[in-house]
Amino acid sequence: MASTIRVRATSSGETTEVQALIQHPMDSGFVKDSKGEIIPPHFIQQLIFEHDGKNVFTADWGGGVSKDPYVKFAFKGAKKGDELKISWIDNKGATDTTTAKIQ
């Protein structure tokens, strides 16, 4: 199955900039469908970025994060060719994981 996670991690020497785009409905549980029925909450709760076995960024999300969420951050201590591991878990217990090479 194709991954739900798309990541671009680019190193500019000292810092590595990371951009991640994830496919997820991020239903807040407050929106009604066309029949007027509430769409139950379904959103990513935690998104974790690991480099070299160390947590470099953790996102705790609620239903207020936009559909197909996007996040950007930067960290120090990595170099080109290193691997970045990304994983998420949603409120229904579904998960996905991927690794990206830092460019």
Partner 1 sequence: MSTMANDFSATRRLILKGAGVLTLIGLGIVPLDVTKVLAAANDKYPEEAFKAKSEADAIKALYGKTPEPSDKVKMDAPEIAENGAVVPISVTTTLADVTSISFLVSENPVALVASYKIPAGTLPNVANRIKMARTSNVVVVVEAGGKLYGVSKEVKVTVGGCGG
- Which residues of the shown chain bind partner 1 in the complex (CB under 8 A)? 15, 26, 28, 30-32, 36, 38, 45-46, 48, 54-67, 69-77, 93
Report the nearest approach of partner 1 to the CB of residue 33 (Å). 9
d(CA 71, CA 64) in angstroms, rounded, equals 14
Is the CB of residue 22 less than 8 Å from the CB of residue 67? no
Nearest residue (CB) to partner 1, 1 versus 32: 32
**Side chain identity at residue 9, one-letter code:** A
Nearest residue (CB) to partner 1, 1 versus 20: 20
Alpha carbon of residue 56 to chain centroid: 13
